[in-house]
Chains A and B, each alone.
Chain A
Amino acid sequence: EPEVTQTPSHQVTQMGQEVILRCVPISNHLYFYWYRQILGQKVEFLVSFYNNEISEKSEIFDDQFSVERPDGSNFTLKIRSTKLEDSAMYFCASRARASLAKNIQYFGAGTRLSVL
């Protein structure tokens, strides 16, 4: 069964460093998302990406964050200068075209980011 793949599973970084979290969405999907979950809290939307551009973003997704789909398969989230409060589990998700009624988002296993 197709799945969303995220790497690395755990990333440890020093405050102020740049990190890139990588995702390979399901191959025929068109919409891509990043969410984060701070330990013990709910899942929060960061950004959605469609047709090679950001379609929607939350207040969390400030100038320190960026997303890119550099080729036909990868979808990346970059944090330019990490802060302690960026420590969280980051989930990538993807879904198929809008005309499918269910529009289920399929989530990857996540990258746990620890900022020291």
Chain B
Amino acid sequence: ELKVEQNPLFLSMQEGKNYTIYCNYSTTSDRLYWYRQDPGKSLESLFVLLSNGAVKQEGRLMASLDTKARLSTLHITAAVHDLSATYFCARRGGTSYGKLTFGQGTILTVHP
């Protein structure tokens, strides 16, 4: 059974600081996704990582994938308040139908 673990679960940051969210998964699988969720809202797709060594960047967020270590990271550079949200990583399941297994989520709060 595929398991996905994120840490930290809670992250309180000051604006301007850098930090990294980690996502470990238990079994080999393809495609690692990062989603953002604002309170009471839906999940917004941020990144899709398809292969080992993949790196994607959008603004202050950068995601990477190391399939050998079964690890993905979401790095936040010079955080701003607008980045406050819950971030989920998700791994696609073993079948072609594509069920996603989510991590617990990291609640990020950026303070002035």
Contact = CB atoms under 8 A, between A and B. Distances in A.
Interface stretch (B21-29, B72-80, B93-101): B93-101
A98 to B, nearest CB: 6
Interface in A64-99: 91, 95, 98
A109 B50 contact: no
B98 A31 contact: yes
Interface string A97-114: 010011111111110000
Given A42-B103, A91-B42, A107-B43, A48 B48 contact: no
Is the interface on chain B under 10, 10 to 19, 20 to 34, or 35 or more residues?
Answer: 20 to 34
A42 B97 contact: no
B48 A102 contact: yes
A43 B103 CA distance: 8
Contacts of B102: 42-44
Contacts of B95: 55-56
B105 A42 contact: yes
Nearest to A50: B97
A57 to B, nearest CB: 9
Interface of A: 31, 33, 35, 41-45, 48, 50, 55-56, 58, 91, 95, 98, 101-110
**List of 3 A-B pairs having minimum Cβ-Cβ separation, nearest first:** A55-B97, A43-B102, A107-B43
